[in-house]
Amino acid sequence: MGDVLSQTEVESLLAAMDQNDSPTSSARSRPDYLSNVTVYDFKRPERVSKDQMRAFQALHEGFSREFGAALSGMLRAILEVKLISVDQLTYSEFVFSLENPTCFNLLWSDGLEGHFILDMSPSIVFPIVDRLLGGGKDATLDYPNRPLTEIELTLASRITNLSIKALNNAWENICDLRLRVQQVESNPQLVQIVPPNEVIVLVSFELMMGDMRGIMNLCIPYNCIEPLSSKLSSDSWSAYQKKAIDPEQKRQLEGNVRRAPVELVVHLAKTMLTTGDLAQLAVGDIILTEKETRQGAEILVEGRPYFQAFPGTLKGHKAVRVGASIQPVEALLAGATGGSAAAAAPAAKETKPTPAQPAGKPSKITK
């Protein structure tokens, strides 16, 4: 048995340790060139920058909204998909963190020529399958600890197809993924798509349907998205969000706008009457206005003056002949978006088209 130290010897040892660990002594012993050195763990390299991580977060927030809406429509029930985290870790850490058995989907991207992994927890897959098979609101929180059967895998593939469609739409401005299911496994340790120490980006979502909750993980190997690193930087993120105009969509939009109905009204004239005069009106009375006949009427499109018009008849029907434009289309659009339409009346007075009938008398409305 060793010697027992006295209290004085113990205090001396503690005092010596405090002197060796003091900041001043460590600062004296450390060279100046080591003051800016930071610790780096080669087992877990930080290959994805913070800007790229923020880009992944914004990218998959849009995916979660679209996927949640599509899944809710398929199930005829409210199902919320929430993005909870975007992390980078090694592939081995990701695989050993998953449940076994689980719904492990190996996806192949034709656009990136690499693999993605979509893992869905059994705690949410079984309730969704139960809902697809006619289950009601009284679903149990317990789920079997076994792999999915062939019928259940077929039903779960409908969820996977919706997620693939939403992922393709979310990534379409960066890359045409063209994802497809290559393999479905229940044991995640049987699938090895990259070396165990390879860095992957793990995007985790929480699926909530009533009291049911489960995790869905999207694993993206870094070597698969490394060619797209420049598109995921903060400098090009705003430019990436600006989608190019599709000629086919532009043609369809123009066609739909041309077929859109608008209200067209011919405005003859206006005047002011007292209530007493209005009450005494009878058939054959004449109402005088300050507008001359040569000025014509106004054609209003959606309540805004567009053309001058001159009333008449055509083949026994009442008609108007379109005259000169009162103001340019650009001015009308500016007025529709908040500009003032007060210049319409002066413009109408300055325009003098060829009269359709002799002028000289004020216009009158005969009733």
Residue 63 CA to its chain's centroid (Å): 8
Q: Please report the beta strands in the chain, taking only residues with DSSP state E, as ranges in sequence order.
A: 80-90, 103-109, 114-120, 179-185, 199-209, 212-221, 264-267, 286-292, 297-301, 304-314, 317-325, 362-366
Most confident of 15-19, 119-123, 353-357: 119-123
**Tokens 């001058």 map to which residue?**
308
Count of beta carbons in the 10 Å neighbourhood of residue 340 = 9
Least confident range of 27-36, 97-106, 289-298 = 27-36
Q: From CA 302, how far away is CA 260, in angstroms rounded?
A: 12
Count of beta carbons in the 10 Å neighbourhood of residue 26 = 10
Q: From CA 177, how far away is CA 67, in angstroms rounded?
A: 16
Res. 294 pLDDT band, cuts 50 70 90: confident
For residue 43, what pLDDT is reported?
A: 57
Retrieve residue 77's tokens.
């029930």
Q: Quick one: what percent of the chain has pLDDT higher than 90? A: 19
Res. 165 pLDDT band, cuts 50 70 90: very high
Count of beta carbons in the 10 Å neighbourhood of residue 121 = 19
Mean pLDDT calculated for residue range 166-181:
89
Retrieve residue 356's tokens.
């359709």
Average pLDDT, the chain: 78
Residue 84 above 70 pLDDT? yes
Distances (CA, A) of 240 to 58, 160, 169, 245, 255: 12, 26, 14, 13, 28
**Span(s) in the chain for CATH 2.30.330.10:** 262-273+284-326
- Which residues partner with 346 through β-bridges? none
Class of the CATH-defined domain 50-241: alpha beta
Give the DSSP H or E segment for 211: none
Looking at residue 264, its amino acid is: L
Chain segment 229-287, per-residue pLDDT in tens: 777 765 554 444 555 667 888 888 888 888 888 888 888 888 888 898 888 888 888 88
* Position with higher pLDDT, 365 vs 245: 245
Most confident of 43-47, 156-160, 260-264, 282-286: 156-160
* 16 phi and psi angles, rounded to 5 deg: -65, -40
Retrieve residue 335's tokens.
């007025």
Q: From CA 351, how far away is CA 339, in angstroms rounded?
A: 22
Retrieve residue 19's tokens.
């002197």
- DSSP label of 242: S
**Span(s) in the chain for CATH 3.40.1550.10:** 50-241
**Which are the contacts of 253, defined by CB distance < 8 A and separation ≥ 6?**
none
Omega of the bond leading into 196 within 30 degrees of 0 (cis): no
CB 309 within 8 A of CB 297: yes
CB 100 within 8 A of CB 189: yes
For residue 44, what pLDDT is reported?
A: 57
Residue 223 above 80 pLDDT? yes
Residue 218 above 90 pLDDT? yes
Least confident range of 77-81, 239-243, 352-356 = 352-356
Residue 20 above 50 pLDDT? yes
- DSSP label of 101: S
For residue 298, what pLDDT is reported?
A: 85
Q: From CA 185, how far away is CA 148, in angstroms rounded?
A: 9
For residue 64, what pLDDT is reported?
A: 92
Chain segment 53-76, per-residue pLDDT in tens: 888 888 899 899 999 999 998 988
Q: From CA 225, how far away is CA 202, in angstroms rounded?
A: 13
State the angle between helix axes of 150-171 and 122-132 in degrees (0 to 180), rounded to the nearest 10.
110
Was domain 262-273+284-326 assigned CATH 2.40.10.120? Answer: no
For residue 164, what pLDDT is reported?
A: 93
Mean pLDDT calculated for residue range 311-333:
78
For residue 141, what pLDDT is reported?
A: 64
Secondary structure class of 130 (helix, strand, coil): helix
For residue 233, what pLDDT is reported?
A: 64
Chain segment 87-129, per-residue pLDDT in tens: 988 898 899 888 888 999 999 998 888 899 999 999 889 989 8
Q: From CA 41, how far away is CA 250, in angstroms rounded?
A: 52
Retrieve residue 282's tokens.
């009878």
Long-range contacts of 280-285 (CB under 8 A, 24+ apart): 281/367, 283/367, 284/366, 284/367, 285/366, 285/367
- Rg (alpha carbons) of the chain, rounded to whole number: 38
For residue 287, what pLDDT is reported?
A: 83
